[in-house]
Copies of this chain bind each other. A is one copy, B any other.
């Protein structure tokens, strides 16, 4: 997906939201540098690629710290606190796969990029909404079959906190064929290996990092070993807007699970703003190497 003019205020807002986490003395320079970068933006690239440029500016000005580290720990801990009740919700439901899937999409609300007003309340509001959301049965069944039939599933993680719901969903998959991917370096609140460790994902499935620090999946930025795993996968499950924005034009057997968080992605995808989406592959077929 390309970047739209409407993304510019959102990039500026992402930078503003990061300001409290950096030295006060550096903030004005950061904002001026971000505005200069936005003036030179390449609209043909995807929004997460521009977000990476913005966070590079911020990191450079503040000693390359992972300034969302604390926030990510809190998000993980916050969702982990309720994991037993979520697991019970899944186990006692009439369709544990579907309930776990819906919860995994609800978890996508934990996003410090597109959503600027994250608070603890959102996740519980979203869980109520997602459990009752209209997600076409056909799309849920298509994903269920794809997971059953796939030989190599690559599951692309998105944000801290959300990854706890991903563990619950992956528990529903047939064993031994799923790999979970995290980002290769800090960017916003995107998942890293340490998050996969903190929430127990590493005990469930193999976890790899993609070698990049884009809040999405831009293959040209990723490590060779990640690219191999990606190519080998005959099913990719992509969580969140960042992965959608960077992969939606690709010929590949990808299901996108996300909440539509902005008008731009709503228009681009054709799904309504705030809807919870299980988006099947465009062409239905175009698997990985078998």
Contact = CB atoms under 8 A, between A and B. Distances in A.
Interface of A: 5-6, 8-10, 12-13, 15-16, 19, 27-28, 31-33, 35-36, 38-41, 43
A16 B33 CA distance: 20
Contact of A35 (B6, B10, B28, B39): B39
Given A12-B38, A32-B39, A35-B39, 8 more contacts: A8-B31, A9-B13, A32-B40, A32-B41, A33-B39, A35-B36, A35-B41, A39-B39
**Chain B CB within 10 Å, residue with most, of A13, A15, A35:** A35
Query: Interface on chain A toward B: helix, strand, loop, or mixed SS?
Result: helix
A252 B41 CA distance: 45
A57 to B, nearest CB: 12
A110 to B, nearest CB: 21
Contacts of A38: 12, 35, 38
A6 B28 CA distance: 11
Nearest to A35: B39
Contacts of A8: 12, 15-16, 31, 35
Given A32-B39, A36-B39, A39-B36, A9 B6 contact: no
A62 to B, nearest CB: 15
A33 B39 CA distance: 7
21 contacts: A5-B16, A5-B19, A5-B27, A5-B28, A5-B31, A6-B16, A8-B12, A8-B15, A8-B16, A8-B31, A9-B10, A9-B12, A9-B13, A12-B12, A32-B39, A32-B41, A35-B39, A35-B41, A36-B39, A38-B38, A39-B39
Contacts of A12: 8-9, 12, 38
A26 to B, nearest CB: 12
A205 B41 CA distance: 50
Nearest first, the 8 A-B pairs at minimum CB distance are A35-B39, A9-B12, A9-B13, A35-B38, A36-B39, A9-B9, A8-B12, A32-B39
**Chain B CB within 10 Å, residue with most, of A12, A16, A27, A31:** A12
A269 to B, nearest CB: 20
Contacts of A5: 16, 19, 27-28, 31
A161 B166 CA distance: 50
A41 to B, nearest CB: 8
Contacts of A43: 28
A200 B8 CA distance: 40
A159 B35 CA distance: 29
